[in-house]
Every structure is written in structure tokens, then in C-alpha cells.
Structure 1
């Protein structure tokens, strides 16, 4: 298998890992009481499950996608058909393919549940008839990551374009700059994994190198290895859009925690209790980075520990699934997860079409 074949395998693995994580969460989504989760699904969830009556996504069946998966597929089709990120095309698809299916309430639309930032964008766009660009809200969740991960895969070898496209897309629905910076950082991490870099203690240094080379828009005042600036040093010319590069440092700290035997998290699903079960991005990202570093060559363990942690386990599994799928490649994802995913073969084909555009420069 050539280097390019490995890249494409990892690119497809990243996208399919996200779809699988999404579908795994449809049944046991948002159980904050783990006793209730175990009552309804047993001590260990190992596959796609039906939602229980009167729960989130109650109209769905095991193996189907939630609305997050629907939007990821929409983003993927836009990237494939346009060949690159085209914001006008993406917005047209939201206007024509998603928003007519919504009514502005939480329990509506594809997957049976519409997230906060999408509801706010729908209100501004449909009810208030505001133009795109005036549709973002202050939701502090991972909803933008869940779709822009496809953009990260497309521009895996083009960090400047990656950052610009993810920033622009994110701000259609979420305008808090800390959330945007963390979303771009996740995309930059995913891109390096698609390239073939491991999620280890060296990864953040590689990301900081891209900042130093003006390829990622983060502001940094420290010298190499985070050493303090010297008296008289000018403010560095690499004044990025985001106030600090700290979001780029998180993955290697999580990898360091994995490698340190004095920091046990056992079983690994309890990472949700360490970093928090809620939806906010600052709870989700450390847990996803931890699981993807710990189970870098074991896709099944990574996504199942993400799911069995409860809370906002669907987002945790989407993020973990993409990061781990990018490391194992599609070839490392158990076939049963593809077979049990509704439309799985078609999604693999679509992901493959995106991956064909990902080439080492």
C-alpha cells in the first residue's frame, strides 16, 4: 500500500469514525445518571442500540444517524461536489436541505433532536430573515466540530486553508472566539493524524511549529518549548486571530496523562467523570483527546468507552471516533460498525470521494 493509500485510508477512517460515533450515541444519548444508563442498557454498551421511549432521538432506530450525522453528511457532500470548501454552497444546503425540516424547537428535524446552535441559526435565518454571517450564537458546544471535521480532513495538508475554512464555517453558528479557537485546534489535530502523526506528547510541539511558521492563526509570545520571552524582545509578528495557542497544547497533555502510570483512569470510560459529562466544548475535548491517545490503535475500545461514559456521550464518541479512525484508518475499524450503520456503504463511498482529494503536498 502506497503512502497515498495510507493517507486515504486514514482520511476515510476519520470521517467514518465520526459517523459511527454519532450512531452509537443515538440510543443512550444524554444519560447523566449512570444508574439509569445501566438500567436501560446494561453494564456495557457494545453496539448500536434503539433509543428508549420518551428519550432523545426516540423516533430513530439502532444504526441510524442523529441530526449531527445528517449535517456532517451534508457538509461532506458539499466538499465532494464542489471539490473544496464553498461557503455559499454549504449555506444553500442548510437553507434547502435542513432548515425546512426544522421548527425551531428542540424535539424536531432529522434525528429527532435539534441542537442549540442550529436552533438559533434557524431562528435568525428563517424567522428573522437575517443574512448568513449574522446567524451565529454563543453556544459553547462542539456542534461546529461535528461538521467541520470533514473540512479538516479535506485540508489535512493545507493548515492555512484549514484554519480559514473552519473559522468561517464555525462562525455561521457559533461566534464565541474561545469556542472557535478550540474548534480550529481540533481540526488541526485531526489533520496531523490524517497525515500519519501519532497523538502523543510531541503532537502539540508540531502544532506550535505551524503557529511559528504563520500557518495556524494563533498568537504566541513564548519562545520554543514555551520558554518565556527575553527582556527587550518585540511582540512576535505572528499575531494570530486567536488570543492564545493553548487549545493546541491540550492533546499532548492528555497523551502525557495516558503515558503516566501515576494517573490511572480505570475503567477508561470514567474519563467522563474526570473532565465532565456535560455538552460544553471544554468538557468534551480533553476526554476525546485522552481516549484517542489511549486507544490509538483500538477503534472499538475508544468509541465504546466514549459512549459508556454517559452524559453527552454522542459528541464525545463523534470526536473520539474521528481522532481514532484517523489513526487506525478505515482498515482498522471493525466491519460490524460499517455493516450496522444505516447507509454505511454509501457513506464509505462518499468519504472515499473526499479522501481522494486529500494528497500530500
Structure 2
């Protein structure tokens, strides 16, 4: 597999995430779908301005939310340091983000600050706690949204991927289930950048990484996913995370996407099937489903993510990274690249990070 294809997929994942984030800026957090259709017609096809009385008011079509702002910080840190450096990332948060926040939700870059970032800001700025004592218990996807760049960087080094994603996640979110699901998403993204398909066999490849010790999950089941039988020994290596189930979800979603007897039509209704809210356990199944269903069609994947309402910005961002890793940067429609604010700068960062992905 050529380095060019690897770098195309790696850059596609990063730009896919930025595009998904920006697509969700205008129609963000409509839980009443009739209201979404009233404000944005029956089908959103591209970037849109936020309405004056809603989230992100005052921003323009194609701009990033705060999630995109933080992802950009992460990519710059990875490129500048040649890999993940906790101290550098935290310094960037201290110097470039936190001075712009005041602890309230409707504030800061992108016009909104999420729960986990607000809690971290309070511990770091108001309580003056050191990094490492700043994480809270939000069950949302903010850590996934920034650590996806770490997964790109370490796509061929799963042990380093898992360690770096875990370390960065706990800076803002400490619940072990949330950390495990965040690491699982990163591991999935890493395999897609390698060129593996998001299909029914992907989870088996992830489980092989568990058995080899590369991913820190506790494998209790056998190869056929059956529970231990009487007399079976305990696995020789107990991982950090109690269960590997977060690694099994992607292939179940991929199976649903290709099963002719399971149809979610139109595909945007995946948001209703798995839930519109912000929690990671609603978001990841929908993103896996859409990325598996539209593995060769970046545009359809992200637009169905956006048109499903609710927390569509996170859904589109996570779907965009997975879809972009499959189509590559070369498979992303030009109009989505052209309409992205500051696209040239973001594209340069994505290409620079992609150049550091090492298949050896």
C-alpha cells in the first residue's frame, strides 16, 4: 500500500472532521425536526449561517465551532512536536483557549463552550488545579473530537495511540467507560487509515490487537464471542478497560448497514434510532453506521449526519473523520473544501500531520 494513499486517507480524516464540524454550525441542536426543516428546508446540502436567535449566532457559514478550534490546536501541537506531547497541548489550552472563556455555555470561540471544557476551565483557572486534576464526568464526545487527530498520527502504532488518547481524554473526562469508548473510536479510525474497511470483520481485527496486548482492553470472550466455559483460565493479560465491547460496536453497525432486512430510510433517521442527544453512546453508533453505509460517498455520510438534527455537529464531525479516512482527501467534494473557512490553512495542517503517519 503506497504512502501516498496512506497520507490521502490521513489528511481526509482530518479535513473530514473539520468539514463535519462546520456543516453542523448552522443547524446545530434542533431536536424538533419540523423546526429544523422550517429553518433550513427539507435537505441541508452545505454550510449554513446560524439563525440569529440560536446557538453560534453571529458566526458565518463554513466557520468552525469550538470543537473545531480545539481540534486545530491539537493538530498544530502534533505537527509542532512531531507527536503527542501532553505539556505542549495543555500549554496551548492555557494560552490560546482558556483566556477566551468565562465559564458560561454561550461564550468563547465558536459561540458555545461544552460542559467538559467548562468544567476543566473552572478547575484550571478558577481553582488553579494542575493539569491531571482537571477532568470531570461529562459523558459527551469532546475528547473524541480532538483525539481523533492523535489516532491519525499513531494509526500504525496502536499501543501509542491508546496511551496518548487515554492520557489526553482524562484531562477533561475521567469516566472509564467514556475513556474506553474514546480509545475504541481512535482504534477504529487508525485501522481505516491503514486501509481496512469499516465492515463486519473490523472488530475481529481490533480484538486481535487486544489479544496481542496492543490495545488495553480486558478480553473475556473467546474468538466466537462466547463467555468463558467452566475451567477456562483467566486471560493472561487484564487490560485497563473492563470490557472490549466498545470495539465490537463498529462491526455490528456495519452489519446493520448492509443487511437487506434492516433498513433505516432515509439514512438521516439513524439519529432517531440511536438517539439525538450529546452522549457518546448515542453518537458513536450513528457515526459508525453512516460511515459504513456510505463508505465511498463522503458527501452522503456527512449530510445524513447533519440532517438528522439533535447533536448533529458532533455526529457529522465524527462521521466526517471516519468517512474521510475511507475516501481520502481526494474523495471529498471540492465544494465542501472550498466553502470551509480558512480551508487552505486547515488543509496544510492536515497534510503536514498526514506526512508524519509512519507505516513502519
Report the TM-score when normalising by structure 2: 0.99
Residue 241 of structure 2 aligns with which residue? 242
Q: Distance in 1 between the 2:205 and 2:150 partners?
A: 20
Question: SS at 1:277's partner residue?
Answer: coil
How far apart, in 1, do the equivalents of 2:335 and 2:206 lie?
34
1:277 equivalent in alignment to 2:269:
no
Determine if contact 1:211/1:238 at 8 Å carries over to the other structure. no
- Once residues 228 and 115 of structure 2 are traced to their aligned partners in structure 1, the CA distance between those partners, rounded to angstroms, is 41
Deviation per residue, 1:110-131 (Å, 9 max, x gap): 0000000000000000000000
Q: Secondary structure of 2:224's partner? A: helix
> 1:329-359 CA deviation, whole Å, 9 max, x = no partner?
0000001111100111111111111011102
Find the residue that maps to 1:342 and give its secondary structure: coil
Deviations 1:259-316 (A, max 9, x none): 1111110000000000000000000000000000000000000000000000000000
**Corresponding residue number in structure 2 for 1:360:** 359
Q: Quick check: 1:19–1:69 contact (8 Å CA) kept in 2? A: yes
Q: Is the 8 A contact 1:153 1:355 kept in 2?
A: yes
Displacement after TM superposition at 1:225 (Å): 2.2
Partner of 1:60: 59
Matches within 5 A, 1:24-103: 24-103=23-102
Whole-angstrom CA distance in 1 between matches of 2:157 and 2:237? 18
Match of 2:301 in 1: 302
Q: Quick one: distance in 2 between partners of 1:237 and 1:103?
A: 48
RMSD: 0.7
State the distance in 2 between where 1:60 and 1:292 align: 28
C-alpha deviation, 1:32, in angstroms: 0.2
The structural deviation recorded for 1:174 is 0.3
Is the CA contact 1:138–1:175 (under 8 Å) kept in the aligned structure 2? Answer: yes
Cα shift readout 1:210-255 (whole Å, capped 9, x = no counterpart): 0000000000111212133233222112210000000000000000
What residue ranges of structure 1 are gaps of 5+ in the alignment?
none
Q: Any residues of structure 2 matched to 1:1-361 within 5 Å, and which?
A: 3-361=2-360
- CA–CA separation in structure 2 for the residues paired with 1:181 and 1:228: 20
Q: Structure 2 CA distance, aligned partners of 1:222 and 1:50?
A: 49
How far did 1:45 drift? 0.2
Which aligned runs of 4 or more in structure 1 are off by greater than 4 angstroms?
none
How many residues get paired? Answer: 360
SS at match of 1:242: coil
Of residues 119-128 and 215-224 in structure 1, the stretch that sits farther from structure 2 once superposed is 215-224
For residues 358 and 160 of structure 2, the distance between their equivalents in structure 1, rounded to whole angstroms, comes to 14
CA distance in 2, matches of 1:80, 1:131: 25
- Answer whether contact 1:121 1:135 (CA < 8 A) is retained: yes
Structure 1 CA distance for aligned equivalents of residues 8 and 34 of structure 2: 38
Structure 2: how far apart are the matches of 1:230 and 1:176? 30
2: CA distance between counterparts of 1:17 and 1:313? 14
CA displacement 1:165-221 (0-9 Å, x = unmatched): 000000000001000000000000000000000000000000000000000000011
SS at 1:144 equivalent: helix
